[in-house]
């Protein structure tokens, strides 16, 4: 028996105050290394920065959209963060997955091997995983179908 429930998607105008996802936050040990990873690997740039006495918030985005990754750097932290058993991954879609894999490999970030999900012979997803400099898992999917 399938216990999953599907909620029907409403049209954008059905809800007067539709929320919009704007960023995800990750805690980083070395913001320079983290920023270099996201800039070199995914074309992100610093869109906003807030510096406080004991921490900084560094917002990164790329030209594709206005969703941001917020890097939180706590100055007193000296040990890498653990990710517990609740964190999964976040994902990017790439038009040329092979080129993206080659680029990350050339930059020394060691992406995992390509994988494919198929059902009844139909390709549903083609992807690979890579970890950023703080160990956060990132899925990179071939653009197409559900992943755009």
- pTM for the whole structure: 0.77
Mean pLDDT of 5-15: 56
In a domain, residue 3? The reply is no
Q: Is there a single domain that holds both residue 93 and residue 148? A: yes
Q: Are residues 66 and 105 located together in one domain of the fold? A: no
pLDDT value for 138: 94
* CATH number for 27: 3.10.180.10
> Do 145 and 130 touch, CB atoms closer than 8 A?
no
| pLDDT confidence bin for 66, thresholds 50/70/90 | confident
Establish if 9 belongs to a structural domain.
no
Low-confidence winner among 37-51, 66-80, 84-98 (lowest mean pLDDT): 84-98
Domain hosting residue 34, numbered range: 21-78
Domain membership of residue 5 (yes or no) is no
The better pLDDT of the pair 6, 95 is held by 95
Query: How do residues 74-122 score in pLDDT, each as one tens digit?
Result: 999 999 999 887 788 989 999 999 999 999 999 999 999 999 988 899 8
Asked which of 78, 97, 119 is the last residue of a domain, the reply is 78
pLDDT at site 21:
78
Clarify whether residues 74 and 99 are in a common domain: no
Q: In this predicted structure, what is the pLDDT of residue 20?
A: 76
End of a domain among 78, 104, 119?
A: 78
Distance CA 96, CA 104 (A): 13
Are residues 70 and 117 located together in one domain of the fold?
Answer: no
Domains identified in the chain, total number: 2
Same domain, 116 and 93: yes
The percentage of the chain sitting over the pLDDT mark of 70, rounded to a whole number, equals 87
Contact 68, 49 (CB under 8 A): no
For residues 57 and 49, the answer to whether their CB atoms sit within 8 Å is: yes
Q: Which pLDDT band, with edges at 50, 70 and 90, does 11 fall under?
A: low
- 112 plus 143 within the same structural domain: yes
> Is 60 in the same domain as 106?
no
Does a structural domain hold residue 69?
A: yes
Whether residue 139 lies in the annotated active site: yes
Query: Is the residue at 125 inside a domain?
Result: yes
Same domain as 147, residue 94: yes
Exposure of 95 by Cβ count < 10 A (0-12 exposed, 13-18 middle, 19+ buried)?
exposed
Question: Are 92 and 145 part of one and the same domain?
Answer: yes
């Amino acid at each position: 028996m399938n216990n999953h429930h599907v909620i029907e998607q409403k049209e954008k105008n059905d809800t007067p105050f539709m929320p919009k996802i704007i960023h995800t936050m990750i805690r980083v040990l070395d913001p320079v290394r983290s920023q270099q990873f996201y800039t070199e690997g995914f074309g992100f740039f610093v869109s906003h920065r807030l510096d406080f006495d004991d921490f900084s918030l560094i917002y990164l985005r790329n030209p594709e959209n206005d969703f941001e990754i917020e890097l939180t750097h706590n100055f007193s932290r000296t040990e890498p963060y653990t990710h517990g058993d609740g964190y999964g991954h976040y994902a990017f879609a790439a038009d040329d997955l092979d080129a993206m894999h080659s680029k990350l490999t050339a930059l020394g970030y060691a992406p995992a091997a390509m994988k494919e999900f198929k059902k009844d012979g139909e390709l549903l997803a083609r992807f690979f995983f890579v970890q950023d400099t703080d160990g956060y898992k990132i899925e990179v999917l071939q653009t197409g179908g559900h992943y755009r």
